[in-house]
Structure 1
Amino acid sequence: MNVLVIGANGKIGRHLVEKLAMEKGFFVRAMVRKAEQVSELEKLGAKPIIADLTKDFNYAYDEIEAVIFTAGSGGHTPASDTIKIDQDGAIKAINIAKEKGVRRFIIVSSYGADNPENGPESLVHYLKAKQAADEELKRSGLDYTIVRPVGLSDEPATGKVADVSGKPTNSIPRADVANFISEALTEKSSFYKTYTIESGETPIKQFFD
């Protein structure tokens, strides 16, 4: 499978690139903004391409079969930057996929994006941007999966997750978010679904059984 990872230089993105390229053997086009980021992504097995979410990046989709959007401004950037990346950039990526006939699309959203007003005041703008992108993806007609992880950590992967039905009881390693996405990518049972996940007891490889 030929996969475009948008936001490949982020912490989840790097784990994902390595997982898809080195373990799954997929062709991974890693979209980055800066030339100095290229060599590190090449070491992870990717074929980097330089592009900017705020500009034209249609060319990044050539010969691509699936898109994974992991880009994010973070919850502590100005609202204007968050809208440019997490909302407008994501929506642009969705629309290009539709135009190019790329049906498979996975987006990394956030816990709380279903109800932004209930989140911390400092994160409301961020969660609203994520919500807008998620809703656009649901309307797109694409074979989508929305992944909403809880609080993230840089701990080693456990390989196990749990659905969050109420308030989270755990955080989740970024490596496990990447593991979850890599398994969901080709799993048809994950199409048209939204997953809110934290660390748990279910092995990721069995989660979609």
Structure 2
Amino acid sequence: MENILVAGANGTTGKKIVTLLESSQYFNPVAMVRKKEQQEQFEKRNIKTVLADLEEDVSHTTENIDKVIFAAGSGGKKVKEVDENGAIKLIDASKNTKVKKFIMLSSMGADNPEEAKDLKEYLQAKHNADVYLRDSNLPFSIVRPGSLTDDKGKGKIELSEKLNKSGEISRDDVAQTLVRVLHDSATINETFEIIKGDTLIGKAIPN
């Protein structure tokens, strides 16, 4: 069983990721949370937690961690501090402890933030974090979903390096995609976009 650090475990998508990992026969979730009161919900399910604030030191978070999913977000409030610098700090920590794979939950539009009509600052922060990860020499996958919805997941997506269209996707299916990418047989050192579609997630993820 591999230990998977989930940054942003208390977020809407993060919680879904942790639940999927909890029932996995391959992975153990380690929930990274910012506040002590957020730990209890995980600990009572016997899920390990680590306390860390992405605006501060995170060097301790990747000890005994095999792979990382970065699903944290500032909600648009502190994009430079959390979405960019927080991600960069966690990438550095992962390098120092020789993490085997770093999976970044990014966003469609992060490849060309200057073309965005809105969310420009957020997309620029995601872009900078993605570039830093690609240049880090860590094995990585960067997953860029369309607009997130709270619809029930269908387990099917449309995936391409560049979809050249906008679209939406459920958080359920994003979480499933991120967990699928954890597998060693899944794509490494690739960046791709996803929206809802007709291809089963297990088939859509490039091997």
TM normalised by structure 2 equals 0.93
Report how far residue 158 of structure 1 moved.
0.6
Q: Tell me the C-alpha RMSD between the 2 structures.
A: 1.5
Please give the residue correspondences for 1:1-209 in structure 2 after superposition, counting only pairs within 5 Å: 1-24=2-25, 26-42=27-43, 46-75=47-76, 77=77, 81-121=78-118, 123-163=119-159, 165-168=163-166, 170-208=167-205
**Mean alpha-carbon deviation: is it higher for 125-134 or for 41-50?**
41-50
In structure 2, distance between residues paired with 1:71 and 1:158: 23
1:45-95 CA deviation, whole Å, 9 max, x = no partner?
Answer: 5211111111112222111110110001124x2xxx110000000011111
User: 2:141–2:188: 8 Å Cα contact kept in structure 1?
Assistant: yes
In structure 1, distance between residues paired with 2:45 and 2:141: 24
Q: What count of residue pairs does the alignment treat as equivalent?
A: 203
In structure 2, distance between residues paired with 1:86 and 1:21: 25
Report how far residue 24 of structure 1 moved.
3.7
In structure 1, distance between residues paired with 2:64 and 2:186: 24
In structure 2, distance between residues paired with 1:109 and 1:171: 14
**Mean alpha-carbon deviation: is it higher for 51-60 or for 124-133?**
51-60
* More helix per residue: 1
User: 1:18–1:44: 8 Å Cα contact kept in structure 2?
Assistant: no
In structure 2, distance between residues paired with 1:82 and 1:126: 6
Helix, strand or coil at the partner of 1:130: helix
In structure 1, distance between residues paired with 2:83 and 2:185: 26
Q: Which amino acid aligns with 1:5?
A: V
